[in-house]
């Protein structure tokens, strides 16, 4: 086995760079104000970022240039994506680059995949009911930022884009993201506490059970226990959900007041609704990535990995099993909650049929395809599968039918007579991905070195999940 | 020395725990609920009992498949329910294409027998193939790995069902005889035990006896039990472990085939998600009875069938069919929390 290369001491690097982060932030803020006053505001944000970056960098001798360069380019490419997307070339077979709309969905699913990665990849607990957390987040947004409880409540807190006299809870989406995350994390703990004692495959089934119960509550929640209390509005779902926005005060300095009506004079580039959703999703993804990295390197993260590799040994070394596992659940649920709430706000509605078991497996598929435990792998797997789900399969189907179908294809390559509906095979394709990855490359496309070693050599004589505390 | 010996012989000391108290309270509540309903509407209760018992028999056949495979490989064969579903679709196709709806008596019974054999062979072949393709390579891998391929296989089979029969439920022609076996009159309402229900029992009971005979009396059954206990030791004793595991999947698949035939003819509708839903119910039944324990699986299945039908039909403070899935999963979760070894299972060092 190739030993992973730890010669770059990342802990020391992070510790040493902390003061520079502070400096960078201050310099960035000052630079932002100065340039905004001098040069109009169009590219101020970009310049401020660059300035902060320059102050942050100067431990030049310790910087792994390749990595920084790759990350910077990737980040810039992601930030500027809405600008160059329409001009991009067509990829063979896959067709055009994903639209900004699809990109938002992709990023939301990447967030969920990263959250599930904490549970499955780091702690090694198979969770087949992750959709429950997604649903919890979405319904939290739906309860506190919609006219749902309009008959009895009128409560506004930083609401944007809503008539100030509107009935129901209308809390700012930013607060709701936090609220949903915390609420979902609590639900994660509640689900976790009775079930985490169980062995791996039983745990999988129980989480699956919760994943099935949640949407059923959502579907039947319009008349809970025949009391007439309408919790979830039943199969019709809850809509409209308020959009995010910065409100009137920040709106005066040019930030969009509401994402749905983003007329901004000071920052013309901020006057496109989809772009705003896109950048916000990007910020959320970056936040999730940051938290994932920091959690992985933390004491807690190392405890997760220890539990994943050998529970008995970890317990013998003094790792508190229950508490550590519960934290994994809570952390995974946290990001699922944020993603769910943001998705609900993006779609401006939440419906019980969005929360089928399929979604749980879909997200699991992302984690497994990319490589359990590896953040970059999960991002790759998540974006690819979410893209396939949204646009890719349709595009591929179109390409196949254009070339091989009897209705349109050239005479000599007509493999089938009528067009085939490729998106119909969606879940079969995901199933094939699961099976093939697990059989031939169980560590995923971009494996984490540790995980790979576990799958190739086995970590202990006991099977990985055979031992409870 | 003597104290130690006596201590070993004593049953485990009874320690009332809060969990046990809550569990007993829940069981008590269910009993009260059933009793009140029984007093209020005895005829309805009896009718639902018959429905639930019949459904439970079908669930039992599927649950046995889970239990057999779990017993030998400690693997939840997620794809099992979908094997069952494909069998049901094959039966639907056969009923339609053979025109059994209009057949005479002899033709009908011959047709049903032929369909039974074909469905069994079909499901057994699929199940064995799945083991060969998706599980065999992963036998030494972490437990997570075969579980994930099982889910993948389940999705593949569901997709095959979807493409085969479309997104709408497929209806199967009703070909079973419609008469009554006997009728019971309770408080003025007469409830019939129909032939349709009786035929389910008529097929299930011999199948179960055959299975028990197979596992307990034959050489092959002995090999299965040995492999379940310890694969390495079994191999050393000259048992072909791979073949025994294949055989177990074959048996589990044939049971799914029997269940598929009965389900398709009895409920007369098959959908590509049927396998997933029924598979989960059956798995819950297997866990309820004690997974790996064959009589337990049947007992659990009958209990689950009864709970389902009572919940769907009873009048007095019943959640209703909207909540069936939730209730079944709540039972599953509570069983795993309160008594992970199941009703008839033995407490293992792993704690279930």
Element (DSSP H or E) covering residue B326: helix B324-338
Q: Is residue B329 over pLDDT 90?
A: no
pLDDT digits (tens, 9 = 90+) for A58-68: 555 565 666 77
Point out the residue among A200, A202, A428 whose CB comes nearest to the CB of B159.
A428
Burial A234-245 (b: 16+ CB within 10 A, else e): beebbbbbbbbb
At residue A83 the predicted structure's pLDDT band, cuts being 50, 70 and 90, is confident
d(CA B134, CA B11): 43
Point out the residue among B276, B329, B336 whose CB comes nearest to the CB of A202.
B336
Tell me what pLDDT residue A460 has: 43
The answer to whether B259 and B83 are in contact (CB under 8 A) is no
Nearest residue in B to A359, CA atom? B155
CB pair distance less than 8 Å for A439 and B149: yes
| pTM of the predicted model over 0.90 | no
3-state helix/strand/coil string of chain A: CCCCCCCCCHHHHHHHHHHHHHHHHHHHHHHHHHHHHHHCCCCHHHHHHHHHHHHHCCCHHHCCHHHHHHHHHHHHHHHCHHHHHHHCCCECCCECCCCHHHHHHHHHHHHHHHHHHHHHHHCCCCCCCCHHHHHHHHHHHHHHECCCCCCCCEEEECCCCCCCCCCEEEECHHHHHHHHHHHHHHHHHHHHHHHCCCCHHHHHHHHHHHHHHHHHHHHHHHHECCCCECCCCHHHCECCCCCCCCHHHHHHCCCCCCCCCCCCCCCHHHCCHHHHHHHHHHHHHHHHHHHHHHHHHCHHHHHHHHHHHCHHHHHHCCCCHHHHHHHHHHHHHHHHHHHHHHHHHHHCCECHHHHCHHHHHHHHHHHHHHCCCCHHHHHHHHHHHHHHHHHHHHHHHHHHHHHHECCCCCHHHCCECCCCCHHHHHHHHHHHHHHHHHHHCCCCCCCCHHHHHHHHHCCCCCCCCCCCC
At residue A463 the predicted structure's pLDDT band, cuts being 50, 70 and 90, is very low
CB pair distance less than 8 Å for B163 and A424: yes
pLDDT digits (tens, 9 = 90+) for B40-73: 778 888 888 888 999 999 999 999 988 889 888 8
CB pair distance less than 8 Å for B152 and A427: no
A197 touches chain B (CB under 8 A): yes
Nearest CA distance, A431 vs chain B (angstrom): 4
Tell me the chain B residues in contact with residue A126 when contact means C-beta distances shorter than 8 Å: 144, 147-148
A204 touches chain B (CB under 8 A): yes
Q: Which of A412, A430, A414 is nearest to A422 (CA)?
A: A430
The length of chain A, given as a count of residues: 469
CB pair distance less than 8 Å for B159 and A199: no
pLDDT digits (tens, 9 = 90+) for A211-235: 888 888 888 877 776 666 777 777 8
Size of interface A-B (CB pairs under 8 A): 141
A444 φ/ψ sector (left φ>0, alpha ψ -120 to 50, else beta): left
**Could you tell me how far CA A412 lies from the centroid of its own chain?**
45
Q: Which residues pair with A170 in a beta bridge?
A: A145, A156
Tell me what pLDDT residue B129 has: 93
Percent of chain A with pLDDT over 90: 15
What is the pLDDT of chain B when averaged over all its residues? Answer: 83
Q: Could you give the C-alpha distances from B77 to A267, A430, B119, B150, in angstroms and in order?
A: 57, 18, 19, 6
CB pair distance less than 8 Å for A213 and B352: no
Tell me what pLDDT residue B1 has: 41
d(CA A107, CA A109): 5
A463 touches chain B (CB under 8 A): yes
Tell me the chain A residues in contact with residue B337 when contact means C-beta distances shorter than 8 Å: 194-195
d(CA B77, CA A205): 12
At residue B351 the predicted structure's pLDDT band, cuts being 50, 70 and 90, is very low
List the Cα angle B285/B286/B291 in 5-degree steps. Answer: 150
Nearest residue in A to B157, CA atom? A428
At residue A129 the predicted structure's pLDDT band, cuts being 50, 70 and 90, is confident
Tell me the chain A residues in contact with residue B158 when contact means C-beta distances shorter than 8 Å: 427-428, 431
At residue A10 the predicted structure's pLDDT band, cuts being 50, 70 and 90, is low
d(CA B32, CA B16): 22
Coil/strand/helix, residue B185:
strand
Q: Who wins on pLDDT, B145 or B81? A: B81
A312 touches chain B (CB under 8 A): no
Nearest CA distance, A427 vs chain B (angstrom): 6
Q: Who wins on pLDDT, B241 or A194? A: B241
pLDDT digits (tens, 9 = 90+) for A292-304: 999 988 899 999 9
Instruction: Quote the tokens at residue B69.
Output: 């495979």
pLDDT digits (tens, 9 = 90+) for A283-294: 999 999 999 999
Tell me what pLDDT residue A268 has: 66
At residue B171 the predicted structure's pLDDT band, cuts being 50, 70 and 90, is confident
Q: Is residue B12 over pLDDT 70?
A: no
């Amino acid at each position: 086995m190739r030993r992973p290369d730890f010669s770059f001491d990342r802990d020391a690097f992070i510790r040493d760079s902390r003061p520079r982060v502070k400096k960078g932030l201050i310099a960035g803020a000052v630079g932002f104000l100065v340039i905004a006053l001098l040069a109009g505001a169009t590219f101020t944000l970009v310049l401020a970022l660059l300035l902060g970056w320059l102050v942050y960098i100067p431990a030049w001798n310790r910087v792994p240039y390749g990595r920084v360069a790759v990350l910077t380019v990737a980040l810039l490419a992601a930030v500027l994506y809405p600008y160059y997307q329409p001009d991009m070339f067509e990829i063979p077979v896959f067709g055009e680059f994903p639209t900004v709309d699809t990109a938002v969905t992709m990023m939301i699913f990447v967030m969920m995949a990263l959250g599930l990665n904490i549970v499955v990849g780091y702690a090694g607990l198979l969770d087949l009911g992750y959709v429950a957390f997604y649903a919890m987040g979405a319904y939290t947004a739906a309860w506190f930022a919609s006219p749902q409880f309009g008959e009895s409540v009128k409560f506004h807190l930083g609401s944007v884009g809503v008539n100030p006299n509107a009935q129901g809870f209308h809390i700012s989406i930013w607060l709701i993201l936090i609220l949903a995350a915390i609420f979902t994390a609590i639900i994660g703990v509640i689900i976790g506490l009775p079930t985490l004692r169980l062995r791996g495959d039983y745990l999988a089934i129980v989480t699956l059970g919760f994943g099935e119960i949640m949407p059923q509550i959502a579907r039947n929640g319009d008349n809970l226990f025949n009391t007439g209390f309408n919790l979830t509005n039943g199969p019709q779902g809850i809509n409209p959900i308020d959009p995010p926005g910065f409100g009137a005060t920040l709106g005066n300095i040019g930030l969009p007041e509401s994402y749905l009506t983003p007329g901004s004079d000071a920052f013309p580039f901020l006057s496109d609704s989809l772009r705003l959703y896109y950048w916000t999703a990007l910020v959320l993804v970056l936040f999730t990535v940051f938290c994932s990295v920091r959690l992985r390197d933390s004491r807690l993260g190392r405890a997760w990995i220890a539990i994943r590799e050998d529970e008995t040994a970890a317990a013998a070394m003094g790792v508190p099993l229950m508490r550590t596992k519960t934290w994994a659940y809570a952390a995974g649920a946290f990001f699922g909650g944020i993603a769910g709430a943001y998705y609900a706000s993006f779609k401006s509605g939440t419906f019980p049929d969005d929360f089928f078991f399929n979604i749980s497996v879909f997200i699991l598929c992302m984690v497994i395809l990319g490589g359990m435990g590896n953040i970059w792998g999960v991002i790759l797997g998540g974006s690819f599968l979410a893209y396939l789900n949204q646009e890719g399969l349709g595009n591929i189907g179109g390409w196949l039918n254009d070339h091989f179908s009897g209705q349109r294809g050239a005479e000599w390559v007509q493999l089938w007579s009528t067009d085939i509906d490729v998106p119909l095979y969606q879940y079969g394709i995901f199933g094939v991905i699961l099976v093939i990855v697990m059989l031939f490359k169980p560590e995923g496309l971009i494996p984490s070195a540790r995980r790979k070693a576990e799958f190739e050599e086995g970590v202990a004589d006991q099977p990985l999940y055979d031992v409870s505390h | 020395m003597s104290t130690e010996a006596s201590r070993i012989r004593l049953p485990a000391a009874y320690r009332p725990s809060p969990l046990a108290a809550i569990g007993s309270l829940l069981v008590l509540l269910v009993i009260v609920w059933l009793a009140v309903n029984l007093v209020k509407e005895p005829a309805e209760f009896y009718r639902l009992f018959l429905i639930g018992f019949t459904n439970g028999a079908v669930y039992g056949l599927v649950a046995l498949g889970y239990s057999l495979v779990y017993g030998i490989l400690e693997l939840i064969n997620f794809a099992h329910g979908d094997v069952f579903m494909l069998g049901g679709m094959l039966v639907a196709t056969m009923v339609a294409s053979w025109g059994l709806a209009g057949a005479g008596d002899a033709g009908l019974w011959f047709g049903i027998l032929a369909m039974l054999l074909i469905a069994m062979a079909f499901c057994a072949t699929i199940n064995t193939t799945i083991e060969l393709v998706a599980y065999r390579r992963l036998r030494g891998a972490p437990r997570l790995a075969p579980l994930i391929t099982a889910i993948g296989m389940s999705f593949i089979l569901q997709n095959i069902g979807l493409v085969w029969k479309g997104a709408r439920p497929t209806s199967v022609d009703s070909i079973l005889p419609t008469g009554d076996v006997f009728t019971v009159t309770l408080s003025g309402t007469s409830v019939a035990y129909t032939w349709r229900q009786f035929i389910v029992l008529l097929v299930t009971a011999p199948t179960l006896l055959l299975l028990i005979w197979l596992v307990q009396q034959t050489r092959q059954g002995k090999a299965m039990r040995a492999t379940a206990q310890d694969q390495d030791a079994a191999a050393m004793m000259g048992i072909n472990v791979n073949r025994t595991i294949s055989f177990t999947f074959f048996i589990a698949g044939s049971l799914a085939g029997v269940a598929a035939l009965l389900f398709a003819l009895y409920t007369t509708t098959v959908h590509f998600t049927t396998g997933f839903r029924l598979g989960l119910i059956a798995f819950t039944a297997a866990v309820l009875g004690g997974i790996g324990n064959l009589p337990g699986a049947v007992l659990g299945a009958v209990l689950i069938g009864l709970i389902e039908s009572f919940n769907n039909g009873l009048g007095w403070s019943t959640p209703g069919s909207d909540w069936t899935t939730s209730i079944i999963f709540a039972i599953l979760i509570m069983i795993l929390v309160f008594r992970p070894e199941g009703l008839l299972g033995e407490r293992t060092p792993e704690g279930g």
